Amino acid sequence: MFIITVLDIREMHFIEPLIQQIPINDVIEALLYAAGTVLSAILTALSIFAYRKSGMKKLQYAVIAFSLFCGFLIYENLENLFGIDDSYTDIIIPSMGLAILVFFFLAVIKKSVIDKKLFHNQ
């Protein structure tokens, strides 16, 4: 026979001091990074699935962009958690942001360029 015990919040006295030591802004920031990372990983997986199913070349750019965004958020979270602050960080973060924008732009523009060529030739 299994006995299930329910933890009572009042019994967890060791967690309360830990929560009070962390500023609420840092907790919210970490939760937002975690949510963004999970969402971008899901979008990456959905983009890969859609690319495999449809074979559309423009989805490759979306897959790369979502993957870069996921890596960007992981790097940002690690930087905040471990206090990484070196000259490479100041170069990597803006470079990743720029690359994400470029790949999303390519994903959007590829369709319009192809559509213009198709409609122009008719």
> What is the reported pLDDT for 30?
83
Rounded to whole angstroms, how far apart are CA atoms 96 and 91? 9
Indicate whether this model's pTM tops 0.75: no
Give 58-91 pLDDT, tens digit per residue: 888 889 999 999 998 888 888 877 877 778 878 8
Residue whose pair of structure tokens reads 């299994």 in the numeric block: 2
Give 87-113 pLDDT, tens digit per residue: 887 888 888 889 988 988 888 886 555
Residue whose pair of structure tokens reads 């959905």 in the numeric block: 46
DSSP letters spanning the chain:
-----PPPGGG-TTHHHHHHHS-HHHHHHHHHHHHHHHHHHHHHHHHHHHHHHH--THHHHHHHHHHHHHHHHHHHHHHHHHT--SHHHHHHHHHHHHHHHHHHHHHHHHHHHHHHHHHHH-
Domain boundaries, the chain: 23-121
Nearest CA-CA partner of 70 in 113, 99, 39: 39
Nearest CA-CA partner of 51 in 36, 61, 39: 61
